Chain A
Amino acid sequence: MANILTVDDSASMRQMISISLEGAGHIVTQAWNGEDGLIAAQKQKFDLVLTDVNMPKMDGLELTRQLRKLDTYKFTPILILTTEAGGDKKTEGKSAGATGWLVKPFDPEQLLRTIGKVLG
């Protein structure tokens, strides 16, 4: 069981992610943009952060950069959710400090499989 933060401006994605993860026994906190995600991450320590890239206010790459600056999130897995299958978002994500990525569209099973890769 892990404590997971999911950041996405799409309510249906957030809902799908949380219900899928909660169904697998995880605890999920939702945030709808990078700014809110950062605030949530500072309030409590999450074992995993899932963030969308394209969001209003603060995007997922900036959120990743900000999180990596925090002592508590130095080694925490951060996965970015991206629709662009092309390499540039992945590379950008990596240089921002993301652990890995999950390419949209994905279904709940794929999500759980990928989560399994980074959770101990």
Chain B
Amino acid sequence: MKIDVTRFHKVYFEESFEGLESMEAGLLVLAKGASGDPETINTIFRAAHSIKGGAGSFGFGDVMEFTHLLETLLDQMRAGTRAASREITTSLLDAVDVLREMLEAKRDAQPVASERIAAAAQVLQKILDLPCSPAPAATTLDAVDQSIWRIDFRPHPHLLKTGNEPIRMFRELASLGQLRVAANMSGVRRLGEIDPEECRLSWNLTLVGMIEERQIREVFDWVEGDCDLDIVKVASVEQMTPTATEPGSPNAPIHPVQSEALTVGKATNIGDGGSIRVSTEKVDAIINLVGELVITQSMLSQFGEQFDVSMIEKLRDGLGLLARNTRELQETVLKIRMLPISFCFNRFPRLVHDLSAKLGKKIQLKVGGEQTELDKTVLEKINEPLLHLIRNSLDHGIESPEARLLAGKPEVGTVQLQASHRGGNVVVEISDDGAGLNLAKILAKAKERGLVGPNENPSKEKIEELIFAPGFSTAAQLSDVSGRGVGMDIVKRNIKELGGNIEIENRPGLGTKFTIKLPLTLAILDGQIVKVGDQAFVVPLVSIVESVQVRRGQTSLISGQEELYRLRDKYIPVLRLYEIFNIPPSVTQLEQGLLMVIEDNGQQAGVFVDDLLAQQQVVIKSMESNFQKVEGISGATILGDGTVSMILDIPGILNLSRQRKVAA
């Protein structure tokens, strides 16, 4: 039977990346100087061991070879023959990176960076004090000939208790050649003394065929020490056949070690799209709820068969129960997609460790609330922004140890990462006790870049907001840690895309705090249902600022085209949805409907609708995967009465209206 091992690759990669993470976490503990905790080393060792074992079975020979070096070194550390020095842990951390790159390359079917691997392998080998190049492949001559073998096999009485069965060994021998078996009963005891659990028989076997002694020994491999065994060649027909033992692994050229910059904070995918690990607890909860749902359903179906007005009270109870079951089921199912934020946070200790060494700063990372759960999609997308923020804190926020001491602060800076649930949101705070934002410098830079007029005098808040402006960076010299000037605007945009927002709290001289607010899930949306003509649209509640009733005279037409509404002290454009989507209107007079003020990215507009209906949570169905992308629509949902309703894409709508304006 041929089994395709590639089908196991996915799980293998998943658990290997998990293993690498725990190796990394363990090595960081060791790096802190808490040397010699046997359980830590054991955990690291086990992870390496599993990766190696799998690599061999799943056809990744190079991964296996590399992991073997790692494993050997870890084994020595585990056995206590080698102490965990800083040099070793650093090399091991580097090796973990290399291994991760190798596995990523395998996963994505990309070529591996053989030079980097060879370099890292050499470092490990140096530590292991092994010769740098593998021994040359040996070629030997093995004699295989037609021969007659005599085998005397005398099991020790306890042989059966090892789970070995002589008859199965004979069967195997018979597969090698012609076998004759003669049992020797001389050792068998008298009936009354027989112990059925003991083996008292012995055998004389004759085996004929093109068989090597090695093959016979192999059959008895497992019972060595549990029996007396004599294997004698009685006769043979000489027939020399050269056979090469397995050629040595191709000698990869080993290059001198180049102290390559650490590829810190390389984006690793969390779980990578496909599968999710779900705790059995969650699955059990769902099964439980489905059970209750079935009970409720059968109860309700009884009413259908024999309904009587007197039962209306019971029916109402039943429907109430159904509603509760459904709601609970919905909540529980959504929880499947929820993962603890630790998946994301776990990578940061390493980042801080590596970066602070590189920057010559002393920084400790404090992490809190890592069990806070949020949607997998949100989690995947928040990774990059968090990385940017932490890099910024390390690079720009925390001062050098000398500067800190001068400022009367402890030498070691602190970066705190804290996650928590607040209302229907997840809040992630990244704070540092560094120098805080230098407002004067930011303003000067902004003026230089033309982001602020030369004579403008913006408020403190406005200046803080400037760091999110595209192309803004105050770092005089671009470092490879951060300061490419593309960071913060992308951070803000990514967070916006997730339906979240970011705020800064700046205390000059004392530190900076970024607060990111994220929705729990992207699968459900708080929506306002609005009526336009005979259609109902869903507007994301977060985008709505207010809704106003328009009075005559509050609107004006500019150049006969653009309609503007005076909202208190400013003018906002009026967008008529029936025009944008080309649907027959039932109300065209602004006074007869409502103007819903929406906002996106600081830009406001008034969306004209017939009426506001209910506010409710809607489940988002993708348009792209079910139909195609529609401009101005972000998705669809099914309302309580079974009708399909489109969810408005507010940035898209604003775009559409701008295009119409240009076209007009």
Interface residues of A (CB under 8 A from B): 9-13, 15-16, 19-20, 23-24, 54-56, 68, 74-78, 83, 94, 97-101, 104-109, 112, 117-120
Contacts and interface: CB of A to CB of B under 8 A. Distances in A.
Contact of A10 (B53, B161, B172): B53
A112 B172 CA distance: 14
B652 to A, nearest CB: 43
Contact of B3 (A11, A23, A101): A23
B197 A12 contact: no
8 contacts: A12-B16, A13-B53, A23-B1, A76-B163, A99-B222, A100-B221, A109-B1, A118-B168
B388 to A, nearest CB: 33
Given A108-B3, A109-B1, A15 B164 contact: no
B53 A11 contact: no
A94 to B, nearest CB: 7
Nearest to B160: A75
Given A16-B5, A19-B3, A99-B164, A11 B11 contact: yes
B64 to A, nearest CB: 7
Nearest to A24: B1
A105 B8 contact: no
Interface in B1-35: 1-3, 5, 7-8, 11-12, 15-16
Contact of A16 (B46, B57, B172): B57
A104 B58 CA distance: 11
A49 B88 CA distance: 38
Contacts of A112: 1
Interface in B106-147: none
Nearest to B50: A10
A27 to B, nearest CB: 17
B585 interface: no
Interface in B287-327: none
Nearest to B75: A84
Nearest to B60: A105
Given A13-B54, A105-B54, A120-B168, 14 more contacts: A10-B53, A13-B50, A16-B8, A24-B1, A83-B56, A100-B164, A100-B222, A101-B222, A107-B3, A107-B5, A109-B1, A112-B1, A118-B168, A120-B165
A23 to B, nearest CB: 6
B57 A107 contact: yes
B56 A105 contact: yes
Interface string B401-426: 00000000000000000000000000
Interface residues of B, number: 37
B43 to A, nearest CB: 8
A17 B50 CA distance: 14
**Leading 10 A-B pairs by shortest Cβ distance:** A105-B56, A99-B163, A100-B222, A12-B12, A108-B3, A77-B163, A10-B50, A105-B57, A104-B53, A12-B11
Contact of B8 (A19, A77, A119): A19
Contacts of B15: 10-12
B248 interface: no
B162 A94 contact: yes
Given A12-B15, A12-B58, A94 B46 contact: no
A113 B224 CA distance: 20
Contact of A97 (B7, B58, B161): B161
A117 B57 CA distance: 20
B225 interface: yes
Given A75-B161, A99-B164, A104-B57, A9 B46 contact: yes
Give the one of B45, B54, B56, B163 with max A CB within 10 A: B163
A74 B161 contact: yes
Nearest to A16: B8
A8 B8 CA distance: 15
A101 B8 CA distance: 23
B55 interface: yes
A56 B2 CA distance: 32
B3 A9 contact: no
Nearest to B54: A12
